[in-house]
């Protein structure tokens, strides 16, 4: 592969109080307009108390979706039901794109592989289109047709095993993003070969995080933290205008044990691909869930994790998976051709490197920061 070739209120009746220069206004409370004003005040007080109680009673909510814990934290008053709206949007995406849901778009496309085009929801179509973009850009290091490999290895599904080499070689020809055909007129998808199957594990959570952000923005919420199992989006600025501090997970410790943190300003996604998410071990070798489509085995390089910061979570998700597969040198090359994408690389010798635009602070002295 030659990676140098990357393609690149209230209206008030008022009178001026005191002298002409007075800078403030006073509400005219003559008898004939006192009643409507009082009603307005009561009305607004009710709304404010309502919003405050919403905020105080439920600053965040966690639910399980997309096979992971998803937490939405609001830093601004949210209307009643906003969490329900966000989570039903996330579930809508799960129902479209999960391979574990037989009626999902993805399951239907897979079922009809080699047989016919299947019309899909525009969300699904957008994700397929973007997945193909990254597959092309990375010469297949990111490949949404890894489904047969995921099934063969069963990692994270309770039936994990090391498949015989012959079985891996048999499915390798099915891992080929260029055999996905899109019909942009009808939002239809066709997989050219029978046995091919799509898997959106490397990109769908990111899309769902972006979709959650859209629901919040439409509801007028400008400050929030979205965390879909580690796919993070920081919406707007924190109330005190300090930067967001996002912890970087320790690869071998329990959840929320961090090795350092990144400071983000606003409207940024941060997504991690790591060997510690889903894996099994045999004879002291770890087999994890990020596959090298070129050989059919879990990607074997010196990464423990790759963290990508980008403008959308869908992009950060695909890029983190891709960079993980590509390795450091080619990964850096890919990040150079993508605008507004930064990364943190955590290596198995416990060294950490970042690209130039990352504000990272190391807090765990068993790791070394090598920039
Ligand atoms: P996670 O989903 O655990 O946060 P990733 O975003 O790196 O981590 O995605 C890993 C998932 O992506 C795998 O579980 C699998 O479903 C899918 N996948 C694995 N290898 C590839 C690959 N080379 N290209 C695209 N998707 C992949
Ligand atoms: Mg990913």
Q: Mind listing the pLDDT tens digit for each residue in 142-172? A: 999 999 999 999 887 778 888 999 999 999 9
pLDDT of residue 281: 81
Q: Is the pLDDT of residue 233 over 70?
A: yes
Instruction: Give the C-alpha separation, 291 to 106, whole Å.
Output: 19
Share of the chain above pLDDT 70, in %: 85
When pLDDT is cut at 50, 70 and 90, the band that residue 208 belongs to is very high
Nearest CA residue ID for atom 26, ligand 1: 202
Query: Is ligand 1 within 6 A of the CB of residue 153?
Result: no
Delineate the domains of the chain, giving CATH numbers in brackets: 14-53 (no CATH), 100-191 (1.10.3980.10), 243-369 (3.10.520.10)
Q: Is the pLDDT of residue 139 over 60?
A: yes
Residues with C-beta atoms within 5 A of ion ligand 2: 202, 317, 320-321
Biggest CA pair distance of the chain: 92
Token pair recorded at residue 112: 């009809």
Query: Is ligand 1 within 6 A of the CB of residue 355?
Result: no
Give this prediction's pTM. 0.86
Query: Is ligand 1 within 6 A of the CB of residue 234?
Result: no
- The number of helices, as runs of H, and strands, as runs of E, in the chain is 9, 21
Residue of higher predicted confidence among 199 and 8? 199
When pLDDT is cut at 50, 70 and 90, the band that residue 32 belongs to is very low
Query: Is ligand 1 within 6 A of the CB of residue 273?
Result: yes
Instruction: Give the C-alpha separation, 161 to 15, whole Å.
Output: 80
pLDDT of residue 16: 28
Q: Strand, helix or coil at 39?
A: helix
Task: Provide the H-helix boundaries in the chain.
Answer: 34-57, 82-97, 105-111, 122-137, 147-153, 165-171, 204-218, 313-326, 328-337
The DSSP result for 183-247, as a single string, is: ETTTTEEEESSTT-----TTTHHHHHHHHHHHHHHHTT---EEEEETTEEEEES--TT-PPEEEE
């Amino acid at each position: 592969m030659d990676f140098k070739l990357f393609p690149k209120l209230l209206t008030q009746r008022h009178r001026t109080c005191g002298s002409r220069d007075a800078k403030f206004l006073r509400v005219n409370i003559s008898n004939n307009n006192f009643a409507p004003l009082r009603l307005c005040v009561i009305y607004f007080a009710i709304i404010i108390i309502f919003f405050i109680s919403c905020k105080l009673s439920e600053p965040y909510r966690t639910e399980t979706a997309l096979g992971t814990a998803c937490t939405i934290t609001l830093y601004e008053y949210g209307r009643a039901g906003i969490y329900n709206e966000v989570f039903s949007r996330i579930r809508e995406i799960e129902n479209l794109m999960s391979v574990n849901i037989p009626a999902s778009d993805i399951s239907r496309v897979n079922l009809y592989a080699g047989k016919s085009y299947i019309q899909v929801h525009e969300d699904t179509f957008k994700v397929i289109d973007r997945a193909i973009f990254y597959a092309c850009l990375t010469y297949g290091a990111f490949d949404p047709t890894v489904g047969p490999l995921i099934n063969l290895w069963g990692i994270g599904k309770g039936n994990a095993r090391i498949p015989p080499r012959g079985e891996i070689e048999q499915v390798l020809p099915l891992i080929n993003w260029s055999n996905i055909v899109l019909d942009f007129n009808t939002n239809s998808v066709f997989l050219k070969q029978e046995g091919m199957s799509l898997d959106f594990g490397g990109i769908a959570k990111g899309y769902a995080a972006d979709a959650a952000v859209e629901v919040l923005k439409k509801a007028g919420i400008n400050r929030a933290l979205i965390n879909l199992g580690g796919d993070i989006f920081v919406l707007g600025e924190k109330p005190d205008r300090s930067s967001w501090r996002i912890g970087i997970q320790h690869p071998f410790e329990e959840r929320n044990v961090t090795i350092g943190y990144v400071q983000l300003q606003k409207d940024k996604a941060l997504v991690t691909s790591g060997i510690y998410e889903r894996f099994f071990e045999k004879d002291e070798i770890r087999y994890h869930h990020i596959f090298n489509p070129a050989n059919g085995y879990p990607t074997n390089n010196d990464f423990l994790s790759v963290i990508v910061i980008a403008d959308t979570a869908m992009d950060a998700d695909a890029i983190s998976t891709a960079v993980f597969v590509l390795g450091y040198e080619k990964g850096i090359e890919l990040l150079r051709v993508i605008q507004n994408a930064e990364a943190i690389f955590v290596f198995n010798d416990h060294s950490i490197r970042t690209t130039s635009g990352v504000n990272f602070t190391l807090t765990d002295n068993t790791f070394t920061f090598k920039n």
